[in-house]
Amino acid sequence: MIIDEQADFRSLLMHHITSHWPDAIISAYDPSVAGHLPDEFSGAGNDLILLGSCHGEDRDGIDALKRFVGKEKFPPVVYFGEPADKDAVRELAPEGHFYRDDINHDALIVRLSDLLRSKRLVATTDSLFVGDMRTGIDPLIKGYRLIRKLGATEHSGVYLAERQSTNMPVVLKVLRQMSQYGDSIGAFDRFLQEYETIAEITHPNIVKIYDLGVADDHAHIAMEYLDGGDLRQRITEGIPEQDAISYLRQIASALSAVHAHGVLHRDLKPANIMVRKDGSIALIDFGLAKRAKLENEISDKGEIFGTPYYMSPEQGHGNAVDVRSDIYSLGIIFYEMLTGDKPYRAETAMGIIYKHAQAPIPLLPARLARYQMLMNLLLAKAPADRLQSAAEVEEWL
């Protein structure tokens, strides 16, 4: 449960949480609108209370914190305050403390994870498997020989592997299901959904899926090994203008296919776009993709997903999203491919989200002025003012 009067701050915390736990169920409470929670509030039904310092003119955060900390059977409280609060916060000793204008994502997730584990887990030998995808305990996947680990999260690992029957290099994404963790069931289902999402789509600019395997304690996806690096690396090196146009065409074509299958990507960014040695690109990582009936807008009010640098204004503020949100992300990537820089920067994720909604559409350098009209159509603040589909992007080009 998130308690704070500022909607943007609540959305920011939701982003931090759902980017790590996409299946988290979050209730947001605005005390200035709904009224202050009574002293009898027990926090029942919540694993954690994230308490901000803004509660309206007649009550401050420290007063609210005093009412919650130390209550018997009350959920752990993590407080987000101002530097001026630090002495009072130290005295009250909530289970976690962050400055609201300087939240480090990794530090926040580590602290919340620790609190959840202390609340949920029984100290058994099995609990040593937490994070085993990170610690080097490699799984045994029948029919594949693991070559090296490419990356890992709390529940999944990504490996370069070789299919033993053909000696073909593949990427294996492996998720371990651990029943003692309450969110692993949702992660397991989400993993299978990701496979189903991609496997239904045959397109030259979407990663190829070769195999799905499911066992009692894990699942794996075998997919195409894309050995040309990602678009993020190409942007760092500098992308020639004509290559940027070619990549834009290919990404738009892939998005057309994705949207035609009733799916939004919702996390389109250079790190999720791989480049093959032949110069073609492929979309990967549909972990935040959402199936939808595209004749209706998707309503995810109160939740935001994705990466702040590439989020549409409506996505960043937790409002309803549809295919035009992916179009906006495509525009951000196009700008970055042309210029080598991100259009909006700020010291905090919240600041970036604000600029997406309020800052003017960036102007391209004079040498790239021929693309300004397209940029305006991709990055319009209101979805109705944008190009309405990826197919329209292709047509415009």
Domains of the chain and any CATH numbers: 2-120 (3.40.50.2300), 132-224 (3.30.200.20), 231-396 (1.10.510.10)
Instruction: List strands edge to edge, sheet with 77-81.
Output: 28-29, 2-3, 49-52, 77-81, 96-99
pLDDT in tens, 159-191: 899 998 888 999 988 876 544 444 444 556 666
pLDDT in tens, 238-281: 999 999 999 999 999 999 998 888 887 777 889 889 999 888 99
Residue 194 confidence class, pLDDT cut points 50, 70, 90: low
Residue 149 confidence class, pLDDT cut points 50, 70, 90: confident
pLDDT at 333 over 80: yes
Instruction: Tell me which of 267, 285, 300, 322 is the catalytic residue.
Output: 267
Q: What pLDDT is attached to residue 190?
A: 61
pLDDT at 214 over 60: yes
Q: What ranges make up the beta strands (E) of 133-284?
A: 144-152, 156-163, 168-176, 209-214, 218-224, 263-264, 273-275, 281-283
**267: annotated active-site residue:** yes
Question: Do residues 211 and 221 make contact, with C-beta atoms less than 8 angstroms apart?
Answer: yes
Q: How many residues does the chain have?
A: 397
pLDDT at 291 over 50: no
pLDDT in tens, 334-365: 999 999 999 988 877 778 888 998 899 999 99
What number is the average pLDDT over the span 143-156? Answer: 77
Residue 331 confidence class, pLDDT cut points 50, 70, 90: very high
Q: What pLDDT is attached to residue 217?
A: 66
Whole-number Å distance between alpha carbons of 323 and 303: 17
135 or 31: which leads in pLDDT: 31
pLDDT at 134 over 50: no
What number is the average pLDDT over the span 2-21? Answer: 87
Q: What pLDDT is attached to residue 352?
A: 83
Q: What pLDDT is attached to residue 49?
A: 92
What number is the average pLDDT over the span 90-117? Answer: 86
Whole-number Å distance between alpha carbons of 385 and 388: 8
User: Can you state the percent helix, strand and coil of the chain, rounding each to 5?
Assistant: 40, 20, 40
What percent of the chain shows pLDDT beyond 70? 82
Phi, psi of 283 (to 5 degrees): -75, 135
Full-model pTM: 0.62
pLDDT at 299 over 80: no
Q: What pLDDT is attached to residue 139?
A: 65
